[in-house]
Structure 1
Amino acid sequence: MQLQLPEPGADAQAASHSLKQLIAGEIAAAGGWISFERYMELALYAPQVGYYSGGSAKLGKDGDFTTAPEISPLFGATLAHLATELISESESLANVFLEFGAGTGKLAVDILAELKARGRLPEKYFIVEISSQLRARQQETLGEFVALVEWLDALPETFSGVVVGNEVLDAMPVRLAVKSAQGWLERGVALDAAGSFRFEDRAAADLPVAQIPDADELPDGYLTELAPVAIGFMRTLARMVASGAGAAAILPDYGFPASEYYLHDRSAGTLMCHYRHHAHDDPFYWPGLQDITAHVDFTAMAIAAVEEGAEVMAYTSQGAFLLNAGIGELLLRTSPEASLQYLPQANAMQKLISPAEMGELFKVLVIGKNVEWPQRMLRHDRTHRL
């Protein structure tokens, strides 16, 4: 079916064609087939032409999707409010922040603005960013705070302080697994007679289907995602967290525990593409010009973290997390009687916490070590579901 989406401009089309040629060349060199994980990696991160390494706007009204920091500064202010408490109550936590996948830099600005208002600016705010285009945009966005920020190319081996990664895990490449009468196959990418991308299933002895609960009971034709890249990242993150004096990593993202991720009814997987605020399921549509994501298997992430020595501090819905962390009190710093200022903030907060909006679809996983986690933050905790 032909997608009815806005047509990209000539320059964008040319960049996408360049990426298509790059991927097609890799498919040919690999004997006619590459894993979807490799396709997704190239589509998102190929130098100069991948979605995250190209120069186009990704977030906000001019981009392809909107994240929580773009909706309201209350999101970052609430994280800063919680972080200040964690640092005050946990002697092992340094007043240092580390953010990865910082996007436009909006979340960093909101966190730092709140910390400045509290007289609690950190010693350093690290940003891990592999995209030079996004790094340049972050430097521009950060303005007065840029001197506090240091950019890194990768996670450090050890760290003490507060770590934030908003919507990072969902953007990591995934493998596609499909159940057949012969067992589990890997769905990869090949070329058709016209040179267009198409899916093709092949046997793969290393497909990690053991993480799927009741994998043998799922019906033939069942399609899902496996995330070894994200699991590997979580292992690295957990080692960093566990090896320092004390750290807490806060990871908001959309997803489910394994028992809900691999439901019989979720037979088409969770892969989704975002282009100009339109969501669809065709990862071959203008490669490099659209985001490609998959929901997060939070059980797999938690297991990886624990196996590397970190602790699961909390797992809950974004709505419960933000309310427990004090977003309502922060909203009330603006008087409800000042309706022109209050109502837009209240409406934005509702998008963040409402079960009908982001409040339930998005979850927050927190891993850490040597941290005094506030008791109130365990209200409505769902760690037992992981």
Structure 2
Amino acid sequence: MHRSSPPSASRPPLPPADPDALAHSERLSAHLRTLIRQNDDWLPFDQWMEQALYAPGLGYYAAGSAKLSPASSGPQVTAGDFITAPELSPFFGRTLAREAARVLTACDSLHVLEFGAGTGRLAEDVLTELHHMGMPVRYSILEVSADLRQRQQARLAPWQDQVEWLDALPDAFSGCVLANEVLDAMPVKIVGWIADSEDLSTPAQPVEYGIALDDDDRFIWQARPAQATLATRIEQRLLPYPGYRTEINLQAEAWIGQMGRWLQRGAALLIDYGFPQHEYYHPQRATGTLMCHYRHHAHPDPLLLPGLQDITAHVDFTAMADAALRAGLDVSGYTSQGRFLMNAGLPELLSELDPRETALYAQAVGPVQKLLGEAEMGELFKVLALSRGLPASLQGFARGDRRHTL
């Protein structure tokens, strides 16, 4: 029996889309309606999110709309939908390169593998810094977006002898893995608890939310009882508060499980926004963390403008660490982005700047403050290190390691 969810929050005002973009969105919407009808008139949200982001030729990451904004666009930027740490400052990639160099030295490798390389800015900065350090690495990129892959190839043309693009996961890999804002874009299950309003003595039931169609063919939320395996996850992680709705990222857990099969020696540095499980599923976070990004407007409605907006969810880092341990990997560190960058060598890089050149100094340091600030990216973003066969500890977690909170 279907259970309808509570009505969504009022839809936010967003910048208008041009006619071509709206036509593209309608083509994806037609595709989604077909899938809903073919799937017993209900599509689990993770399948909706998968198609909205990655459907060939239609999804947000599979089509050609601008996604990431260049840092040079300034505070009034309108191009793209969001900006990432590598786009803010080259010091992010340069510092990450220093930690990658320690990993490569420890595992006797010169191979870096990046997932979801965006515009290629992080790869460019990492390659540049490693070159200055005398490390001629082989740099592999696995990118699901054809549009972003083309942008990466153009940007990294000067490094073409060192860079390759992969179409699938490697069978075996030794070296350093980089994944900046990758886990948050993996499709999530939307789950929660629903109580029978007519019988208050009946315990709340675990449910999974999906997308259905109303009588006018509009997309609507709808809940169904969670299947047994998912219901067990819900019962293990969420307190049974009626009306509580949140996310479980089974695809990210499976991705880390796969890493346990192909990472032979080395470490993966996973950078993303999120919390340990006891904070993620807190009673006060009763509507979850799902967020959409369209032209630098953040809002919580993933049913708007399919194919034109990014859809993300925060990362449950406890679940990621547990998945790593089940896969035979070591959890080598967990801390805030700000603390990681300070440990890994950012102060030394900043010391190369001349503060007497006030304009250039301010231009360089301003974005760094966003990377480090507790009220900015420094605390919201975390770094999780997973490893195998790594004899040395990682400098990025030398102080402020928070593994005890997972």
Match of residue 198 from structure 2: none
* Aligned-pair CA distance for 1:207: 5.1
Match of residue 188 from structure 1: 210
Matched, 1:116 2:131: yes
For 2:250 and 2:102, locate their aligned partners in 1 and report how far apart those are by CA, in whole Å: 34
Match of residue 169 from structure 2: 155
What's the secondary structure of 1:177's corresponding residue? strand
Match of residue 250 from structure 1: 269
Q: How does 1:91-240 map to 2 (within 5 A)?
A: 92-122=107-137, 124-181=138-195, 182-206=204-228, 208-211=230-233, 215=237, 217-240=239-262
After superposition, the C-alpha distances for 1:86-133 in whole angstroms (9 at most, x for unaligned) are: 323x1x3311100001111110001011112222220x1000112221
What is the TM-score normalised by the length of structure 2?
Answer: 0.91
Question: 1:205 is aligned with what amino acid?
Answer: Q
* Contact in 2 for aligned 1:173/1:229 (Cα 8 Å): yes
Match of residue 328 from structure 2: 309
For 2:163 and 2:211, locate their aligned partners in 1 and report how far apart those are by CA, in whole Å: 40
Matched, 1:45 2:67: no
* Contact in 2 for aligned 1:209/1:215 (Cα 8 Å): no
Matched, 1:363 2:372: no
Matched, 1:22 2:42: no
- Which of 264, 286, 295 lines up with 2:283 in the alignment? 264
For 1:279 and 1:271, locate their aligned partners in 2 and report how far apart those are by CA, in whole Å: 10
Matched, 1:382 2:402: yes
* Aligned-pair CA distance for 1:214: 6.0
Q: From the superposition, tell whether residues 263 and 39 of structure 1 become closer, same or farther in structure 2 (CA, over 3 Å).
A: same
* Contact in 1 for aligned 2:374/2:380 (Cα 8 Å): yes
Matched, 1:69 2:63: no
For 2:191 and 2:396, locate their aligned partners in 1 and report how far apart those are by CA, in whole Å: 40
* Contact in 1 for aligned 2:52/2:306 (Cα 8 Å): yes
* Aligned-pair CA distance for 1:4: 1.4
What's the secondary structure of 2:156's corresponding residue? helix
Q: From the superposition, tell whether residues 192 and 213 of structure 1 become closer, same or farther in structure 2 (CA, over 3 Å).
A: closer
After superposition, the C-alpha distances for 1:12-55 in whole angstroms (9 at most, x for unaligned) are: 11110000000001101112101001100000000111000010
For 1:291 and 1:3, locate their aligned partners in 2 and report how far apart those are by CA, in whole Å: 15
Question: 2:284 is aligned with what amino acid?
Answer: D
* Aligned-pair CA distance for 1:5: 1.0
Match of residue 373 from structure 1: 393
- Which of 368, 377, 400 lines up with 1:349 in the alignment? 368
Q: From the superposition, tell whether residues 212 and 34 of structure 1 become closer, same or farther in structure 2 (CA, over 3 Å).
A: closer
What's the secondary structure of 2:241's corresponding residue? coil
Aligned length: 380
* Contact in 1 for aligned 2:140/2:165 (Cα 8 Å): yes
Match of residue 284 from structure 1: 303
For 2:235 and 2:85, locate their aligned partners in 1 and report how far apart those are by CA, in whole Å: 31
Q: From the superposition, tell whether residues 364 and 375 of structure 1 become closer, same or farther in structure 2 (CA, over 3 Å).
A: closer
Match of residue 79 from structure 1: 96
What is the TM-score normalised by the length of structure 1?
Answer: 0.95
After superposition, the C-alpha distances for 1:139-159 in whole angstroms (9 at most, x for unaligned) are: 011131122111111221210
* Contact in 2 for aligned 1:164/1:249 (Cα 8 Å): yes
Match of residue 56 from structure 1: 65
* Contact in 1 for aligned 2:11/2:301 (Cα 8 Å): no
Q: From the superposition, tell whether residues 141 and 375 of structure 1 become closer, same or farther in structure 2 (CA, over 3 Å).
A: closer
Deviating more after overlay: 232-241 vs 10-19: 232-241
Which runs of 5 or more residues in structure 2 are unaligned?
1-9, 70-76, 196-203
Question: 1:183 is aligned with what amino acid?
Answer: Q
* Aligned-pair CA distance for 1:369: 1.1
Percent identity, aligned pairs only? Answer: 48
Which runs of 5 or more residues in structure 1 are unaligned?
none
Match of residue 32 from structure 1: 41
* Contact in 2 for aligned 1:186/1:207 (Cα 8 Å): no
After superposition, the C-alpha distances for 1:295-317 in whole angstroms (9 at most, x for unaligned) are: 00111111111111110010000
For 1:159 and 1:2, locate their aligned partners in 2 and report how far apart those are by CA, in whole Å: 45
* Contact in 2 for aligned 1:177/1:186 (Cα 8 Å): yes
Deviating more after overlay: 352-361 vs 150-159: 150-159
What is the root-mean-square deviation in Å for CA atoms of aligned residues?
A: 1.4
Deviating more after overlay: 214-223 vs 108-117: 214-223
Deviating more after overlay: 264-273 vs 110-119: 110-119
Q: From the superposition, tell whether residues 3 and 305 of structure 1 become closer, same or farther in structure 2 (CA, over 3 Å).
A: same
* Contact in 2 for aligned 1:238/1:367 (Cα 8 Å): no
After superposition, the C-alpha distances for 1:246-295 in whole angstroms (9 at most, x for unaligned) are: 21100000001111100011000000000000000110110000000000
Deviating more after overlay: 47-56 vs 201-210: 201-210
